Chains A and B, each alone.
Chain A
Amino acid sequence: MKVQETKTERGIRAVLPFLSTLALILLMQPQYKIAYFNNMVPFLSLAAVYYWCIFKPRLMPVSVVFLLGLIQDILSGGPLGMMALLLILVRVFVLSQGRRLLEREFLFNWLVFFVLALVFGFVTWAVASLYLREAQNYWTILGQSMLTIVIFPAVVWILGRVRRLLVAEIR
């Protein structure tokens, strides 16, 4: 009986990366009532997927990343599959680095994220422009990438607390 309980507990903890990323995706949705900010809500999901793929890649498998991207696409009204594709590519990038990102200090990860967010913004712009068959304004997406970079430490701090829940219980 006791064993089963811990199993369910473990199951619940295993979905924490998914739930925390989903929560951040939901936080991206409301209207923040600030002019221009509505055009460039930070890519919180990018920060979360990046974080979990570095620290707990097994709890953030490609199917989960796909599902999260799809939910974001549906809620934000963008083309179906766009965020799913881009977030999977982020996962592929992080995993290709092996343990290189895991063993470095925060500042190094932030620097990698800086470049990643800019590339992510550019690819988003390219996919959207292709999808809409018209070159879009790139200044707003640059702003969106910048805001994402600025808010990254806060996201890492929050997800770090979530991860502590994981680490403390499952060894």
Chain B
Amino acid sequence: MKELRYRFSTGFFITLSLALLVFGSNNNSVVNRIRADVSGIFVPLLDVISRPLEAADDFIEWTQNLAIVFSENKQLREENNRLRQAQIKASQLAIDNQRLKRLLNVGEGQVETIAAARVVSDSGSPFFKSVLINRGTEDGLKNRQAVINEDGIVGRTINVGASSARVLLATDINSRIPVKLASSGINMILEGDNSAFPRLGFLPIGEKVAVGDLILTSGYGMVFPPDLPVGQVVKIDGDDIRIKLSAKLHNLNYVSIVGYNIIRRPAAADPKEPRSEEPGG
């Protein structure tokens, strides 16, 4: 009798696991909600567990910085002088640019930082690349929003709960990000494949890419704002172009979640503008 009960319960739970594996895919909204809720319960705990690791990492970085502080100082002074010159030039160009854009009525993207979040957990698996952050719908997050840090893009939100969210990293096999070559503006797609170096796909025939080329986001797809740093080409093997991401995805402490919208300023003198707001129009 006991043997029978053991067999029955084991069989039952094996079947249940298999059913979940087959039917509980990521597109199922009930499963997603449960996932988000359970993650939300554990996030405060994971937040506490991950703090000492962050402190240790900060300490290591601090000692490293201490060692190079003198040589770096001299270098930074020189760079500072150079940048001051460049800043003057850049502000002139920015004014020019703004004036020309207004003339052309170019739809300008509006980028807003929705929240800053701490990364509290990592999938830790070679097959699924995602991290958990401690911000959710309560902080204004939604699905499919860009996640970046100070170095470049990190990924996008995929499962947002009330106070936690899962971020699909750019290296995950399911990640596709529209990017462009910084120098020529050729559009391509960054395809994750679970390796540390994601692949660049859809290079137009006849176009060339070289090792060291900079890659930026293109802004297509309306998830990532344009011109954010993505990475650099590190290896080309026939059609296989590999990118080293600017952001260190194995060492994420804080990330920003950004929203991106296109806004068109109504040009007052333009007769082709929609007249819905005019009385009687």
Q: Name A's B-contacting residues (CB within 8 A).
A: 26-41, 61-63, 65-66, 69-71, 74-82, 84-85, 88-89, 91-92, 95, 124-125, 127-128, 131-132, 134, 136-137, 140-141, 144
Contacts and interface: CB of A to CB of B under 8 A. Distances in A.
A125 B6 CA distance: 28
Size class of the B contact interface (CB-based, 8 Å): 35 or more
A66 B15 CA distance: 11
Contacts of B127: 78, 124-125, 128, 132, 136, 141
Interface string B87-118: 00000000000000000000000000000000
Given A31-B122, A85-B17, A77 B166 contact: yes
B31 interface: yes
A85 B125 CA distance: 17
Secondary structure at the A interface, as helix, strand, loop or mixed, is helix
Given A27-B49, A134-B173, A41 B24 contact: no
B20 A30 contact: no
Contacts of B56: 33
A84 B121 contact: no
Given A29-B122, A82-B21, A137-B195, A34 B250 contact: yes
A63 B24 contact: no
Interface of B: 6, 9-10, 13-14, 16-21, 24-25, 31, 34-35, 38-39, 42, 45-46, 49-50, 53-54, 56-57, 119-128, 130-132, 166, 173, 194-196, 248-252
B123 A62 contact: no
A76 B124 contact: yes
B46 A29 contact: yes
Given A33-B251, A132-B173, A88 B126 contact: no
Nearest to B31: A80
A136 B194 contact: yes
Contacts of A137: 126, 194-195
B46 A78 contact: no
11 contacts: A33-B53, A40-B126, A41-B125, A77-B130, A81-B16, A84-B17, A85-B17, A85-B21, A137-B194, A141-B126, A144-B126
B128 A76 contact: yes
B131 A31 contact: yes
Contacts of A30: 46, 49-50, 53, 120-122
Contacts of B50: 29-31
The 8 closest A-B pairs by CB, nearest first: A81-B20, A41-B124, A140-B126, A85-B17, A81-B21, A29-B121, A128-B127, A30-B50
B240 to A, nearest CB: 15
B161 to A, nearest CB: 11
Contacts of B25: 79
A78 B20 CA distance: 12
Contacts of B130: 77
B195 A38 contact: no
Contact of A31 (B10, B24, B42, B252): B252
A95 B215 CA distance: 54
Nearest to A81: B20
Please indicate which of the listed interface residues B16, B25, B34, B119 has the most CB atoms of chain A within 10 Å of its own CB: B16
Nearest to A121: B126
A91 B251 CA distance: 35
Given A30-B122, A77-B123, A81-B24, 5 more contacts: A31-B119, A74-B39, A76-B125, A80-B20, A85-B14
B18 A62 contact: no
A38 B123 CA distance: 8
B106 to A, nearest CB: 39
A74 B38 contact: yes
Contacts of A78: 123, 125, 127-128
